[in-house]
């Protein structure tokens, strides 16, 4: 198999915008298809231990289903991944009100976030990589956020079976920025049951506990002795139904883990965040990131009412997400690492997904 990047039409939005889909293929047959609507990764095929390719991300077969109703399947999330309490924050003496779209809070950039916008795109290629570059300018005031935000997100598929996700943004006014990628993984194949038997190692000694509306309390709590201790490889389902207030509020895991990052490490260095294993197919996923946190969400809101690609039904806890990010609600929590981007600065963030198999 040879390395390639191709482009094809993928339909038209209800407001008549043409959508394109890019297909990245590496020499081992790993294939990523991503469209200009939301920068959505529509499919991601990797080999299992026998070498058979399978699609390991949830999604739909066509654009219309994504536009009609998608729980952020595969999308770029912005301007602010995760929640901002009551959709409100104060910056430089001014209070901003964002759309409230998740109980009392603003989630994933508001009513029409980056996941629902059509991006410009072009392909890129080197002698060991293929990629697609998504770009859009989010106008001042979009979804209530201050400043014009110029955003570039690049997906690069490498010959060594890594997908590198690079985020860059600049602004003309102080503004919060927190970008992520919302792929739902099922390493046994999208639609093949739940992920409770798949195993995770999360390189985090602590996490940010939430209130009943999923907003962090501000506390950084140790995972030791709790169902949030994934420092050694543990099945997702091993403790998910434990009698624990945090798990009950979220209906499972839907929490921000505080990644271990040695003080000596430069701020822009990658840390190993997650090692995920599916004992059944043998597929593994390793996540590396420059971000301080990662939201692990176990598809608790999936309830079997969505039929996705190839007519497959997405059952409760039929996927997990690895949303690398700054902590939720940081604009209202001064003790958390800042998410404010200033004019003249460049927001830069990198996450790497490495695909593999174990015997």
Q: Catalytic positions, please?
A: 182, 323
Distance of CA 232 to the CA centre of its chain: 22
- Tell which phi-psi region holds residue 329, choosing left (phi > 0), alpha (psi between -120 and 50) or beta: left
Tokens at 97, concatenated: 């009100």
Q: Residue 175: which of 132, 211, 139, 223 has the closest Cα? A: 139
Please report how close the Cβ of residue 321 comes to ligand GLA at its closest, in angstroms.
5
Does 301 bind ligand GLA (CB under 6 A)? Our answer is yes
Please report how close the Cβ of residue 158 comes to ligand GLA at its closest, in angstroms.
27
Contact between 149 and 174 (Cβ < 8 Å): no
Interacting stretch for ligand GLA, rule CB under 6 A, among 90-98, 159-167, 281-289, 294-302? 294-302
Q: CB-hemisphere CA count at 13 Å for 260?
A: 13
Tokens at 271, concatenated: 């840390």
Q: According to CB under 6 A, which one of 295, 298, 332, 349 is a site residue for ligand GLA?
A: 295
Binding-site string for ligand GLA from residue 258 to residue 287, where x marks contact by CB under 6 A and - marks none: ------------------------------
Q: According to CB under 6 A, which one of 253, 297, 353, 355 is a site residue for ligand GLA?
A: 297
Does 251 bind ligand GLA (CB under 6 A)? Our answer is no
Whole-angstrom Cα distance, residue 349 to residue 321?
18
Does 71 bind ligand GLA (CB under 6 A)? Our answer is yes
Contact between 259 and 204 (Cβ < 8 Å): yes
Please report how close the Cβ of residue 239 comes to ligand GLA at its closest, in angstroms.
19
Pick the closer one to ligand GLA by CB: 30 or 210: 210
Whole-angstrom Cα distance, residue 105 to residue 29?
42
Please report how close the Cβ of residue 108 comes to ligand GLA at its closest, in angstroms.
6
- Tell which phi-psi region holds residue 82, choosing left (phi > 0), alpha (psi between -120 and 50) or beta: left
Does 254 bind ligand GLA (CB under 6 A)? Our answer is yes
Does 181 bind ligand GLA (CB under 6 A)? Our answer is no
Q: Residue 152: CB partners within 8 Å, gap ≥ 6?
A: 133, 134, 135, 166, 167, 168, 169
Interacting stretch for ligand GLA, rule CB under 6 A, among 18-26, 135-143, 194-202, 295-303? 295-303
Please report how close the Cβ of residue 276 comes to ligand GLA at its closest, in angstroms.
16
Contact between 74 and 180 (Cβ < 8 Å): no
> Closest CB to ligand GLA belongs to which residue?
297
Does 321 bind ligand GLA (CB under 6 A)? Our answer is yes
Contact between 106 and 84 (Cβ < 8 Å): yes
Does 99 bind ligand GLA (CB under 6 A)? Our answer is no
Pick the closer one to ligand GLA by CB: 3 or 116: 116
Q: According to CB under 6 A, which one of 60, 66, 72, 80 is a site residue for ligand GLA?
A: 72
**DSSP-derived pairing of the beta strands 254-258 and 206-208:** antiparallel
Q: What is the DSSP letter of 62?
A: S
**What residues make contact with ligand GLA under the rule CB under 6 A?**
71-72, 82, 107, 214, 254, 295, 297, 301, 321, 323
């Amino acid at each position: 198999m040879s390395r390639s990047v191709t482009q094809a039409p993928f339909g038209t939005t209800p407001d008549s915008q043409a959508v394109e889909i890019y297909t990245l293929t590496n020499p081992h047959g790993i294939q990523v298809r991503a469209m200009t609507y939301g920068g959505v990764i529509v499919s991601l095929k990797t080999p299992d231990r026998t070498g058979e390719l399978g699609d390991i991300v949830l999604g739909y077969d066509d654009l219309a289903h994504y536009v009609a109703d998608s729980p952020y399947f595969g999308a770029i999330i912005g301007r602010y991944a995760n929640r901002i309490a009551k959709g409100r924050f104060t910056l430089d003496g001014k209070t901003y009100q964002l759309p409230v779209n998740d109980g009392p809070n603003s989630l994933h950039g508001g009513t029409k976030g980056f996941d629902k916008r059509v991006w410009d795109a072009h392909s890129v290629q080197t002698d060991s990589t293929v990629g697609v570059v998504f770009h859009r300018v989010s106008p001042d005031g979009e979804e209530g956020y201050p400043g014009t935000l110029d955003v570039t997100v690049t997906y690069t598929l490498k010959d060594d079976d890594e997908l590198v996700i690079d985020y860059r943004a600049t602004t003309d006014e102080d503004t919060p920025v927190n970008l992520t990628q919302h792929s739902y993984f099922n390493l046994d194949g999208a639609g093949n049951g739940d992920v409770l038997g798949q195993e995770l190692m999360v390189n985090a000694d602590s996490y940010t506990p939430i209130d009943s509306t999923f907003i962090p309390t501000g506390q950084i709590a140790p995972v030791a002795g709790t169902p949030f201790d994934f420092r050694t490889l543990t099945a997702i389902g091993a403790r998910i139904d434990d009698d624990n207030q945090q798990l009950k509020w979220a209906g499972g895991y839907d929490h921000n883990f505080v990644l271990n990052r040695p003080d000596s490490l430069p701020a822009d260095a990658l840390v190993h965040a997650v090692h995920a294993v599916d004992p059944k197919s043998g597929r593994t996923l390793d996540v590396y990131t420059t971000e301080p946190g990662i939201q692990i969400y176990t598809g608790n809101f999936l309830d079997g009412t969505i039929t996705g690609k190839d007519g497959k039904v997405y059952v409760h806890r039929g996927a997990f997400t690895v949303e690398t990010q700054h902590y939720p609600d940081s604009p209202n929590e001064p003790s958390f690492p800042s998410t404010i981007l200033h004019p003249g600065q460049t927001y830069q963030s990198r996450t790497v997904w490495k695909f593999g198999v174990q015997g």
